[in-house]
Amino acid sequence: MPDSLMSFLCRLYGAMLYAYPRGFRMEYGALMQQAFRDRCRDAARKGPANIVRFTLHSAIDWISSVWRECSFTTFALQQVRAVWSAGRNQSPRGFVGEWAVTILLYLFCATTLVQAYVVPTGSMESTVRVGDHMLVDRLAFANSSHADRRLLPYHALERGDIVCFRYPEDIQQTYVKRVIGMPGDRIRMVNKQVIRNGKLLLEPYTRHIDPAVEPFRDNFPDGPAYSVLPLGREMLRDHMVNGEVVVPPDTFFAMGDNRDNSSDSRFWGFVPMANVVGKPLIIYWSFDAPTEDLENWSVDHVFDVALHFFTKTRWERTFLVPRSQKAREVPYTP
């Protein structure tokens, strides 16, 4: 067996140890990894058929022992709870109360701390792809006037951050884009390149799929604005200074990384800071499916997922973290 496969299996096993309860993992995790490596080396010496058997056997061992250790922990928790509630009458009302607290906690976490989203369109393609399922950290850019800002890792929105926000034209929809301009910034484009405050941006994260240069899209805001929505027209009317758009206070200018095929601030104007939902935290699952399936789950889509889970999941994107990236600014000479 090549060393790379062996080290991959060992790394995978290391990650899979997280399924065990923390106490067990702390005590035996390193020893288990060691024993796994020894067995892996042994299987490798005996030939390819052995590796397959070894992998299968390890998977079964993992499932069964995780199950056992976790139910032991649950059992231990029940014991703790029994001791804690000893002496008090365990009534049906107490049982309902316990569950109510659990459900409330879950709802709090699910609505305030993180939220799961799926990306249905390709406007951020090259950074975030169609079918990426991600968790969004809803507190990252939360209003910093809250008293608890010292307790949690907040930070102010910056240029280059990837951000999820309510689409200004229809707040039912959540968009994910990159922040290009902050309040006071002057924005325009020349030949597909952004010029911010008179400096040319070198943006490593963008992608261009169309070699043709279009007037408005690629030389923003110059040219006939056909596909501009009402809020975009408002921007072009009220915030244009010398052929540049100036970002007003408490808003930002957002663009998709897939510049030639992105519906962004060029077409529907600035995003109010109040519309910010949060910051993409991690892509936990990426599944290759068409846009319409991701927007509305159908029976066909459920079958598609069931049948092609392993082949259509983009494993290389699993647990990917979409990173903020700063563009380099260079002097612009026309």
Q: Which of 5, 26, 46, 61 binds other proteins (CB under 8 A)?
A: 61
CA atoms 181, 185, 187, 192: torsion sign:
negative
Nearer to other proteins, 62 or 332 (CB): 62
Q: With binding defined as CB under 8 A, does residue 50 bind other proteins?
A: no
Closest distance of CB 15 from other proteins, Å: 14
CA atoms 300, 302, 305, 308: torsion sign:
negative
Count of residues near other proteins by CB under 8 A: 22
Q: Which of 1, 14, 24, 200 binds other proteins (CB under 8 A)?
A: 24
DSSP assigned state of 112: I
Only one of the segments 58-66, 131-139, 195-203, 319-327 lies at the binding site for other proteins (rule: CB under 8 A); that segment is 58-66
Cis-peptide into 221, omega within 30 deg: yes
Q: Which amino acid is at 42?
A: D
Q: With binding defined as CB under 8 A, does residue 40 bind other proteins?
A: no
Only one of the segments 52-60, 106-114, 172-180, 305-313 lies at the binding site for other proteins (rule: CB under 8 A); that segment is 52-60
Q: With binding defined as CB under 8 A, does residue 35 bind other proteins?
A: yes
Nearest to 208 by CA among 278, 107, 125, 311: 125
Only one of the segments 33-41, 138-146, 230-238, 319-327 lies at the binding site for other proteins (rule: CB under 8 A); that segment is 33-41
Compute the residue count for the chain.
334
Residue 38 structure tokens: 């020894």
Closest distance of CB 38 from other proteins, Å: 4
Q: With binding defined as CB under 8 A, does residue 268 bind other proteins?
A: no
DSSP assigned state of 143: -
Q: With binding defined as CB under 8 A, does residue 38 bind other proteins?
A: yes
Closest distance of CB 12 from other proteins, Å: 13
Q: With binding defined as CB under 8 A, does residue 49 bind other proteins?
A: no
Q: Which helix (H) or strand (E) holds 23?
A: helix 22-45
Q: With binding defined as CB under 8 A, does residue 216 bind other proteins?
A: no
Q: Which amino acid is at 196?
A: R
Q: With binding defined as CB under 8 A, does residue 295 bind other proteins?
A: no
Residues 257, 122 contacting (CB under 8 angstroms) = no
Helix and strand element counts for the chain (H, E) = 9, 13
Q: Which of 6, 28, 174, 313 binds other proteins (CB under 8 A)?
A: 28
Residue 23 structure tokens: 């106490």
Residue 129, classed as helix, strand or coil, is coil
Only one of the segments 29-37, 122-130, 174-182, 234-242 lies at the binding site for other proteins (rule: CB under 8 A); that segment is 29-37
Q: Which of 12, 26, 52, 60 binds other proteins (CB under 8 A)?
A: 60
Closest distance of CB 44 from other proteins, Å: 14
Residues 201, 326 contacting (CB under 8 angstroms) = no
Closest distance of CB 41 from other proteins, Å: 9
Nearest to 199 by CA among 326, 327, 332: 332
The β-bridge relationship of strands 162-166 and 276-286 is antiparallel
* Site residues for other proteins per CB under 8 A: 20, 24, 27-28, 31-36, 38-39, 57-58, 60-62, 64-66, 68-69
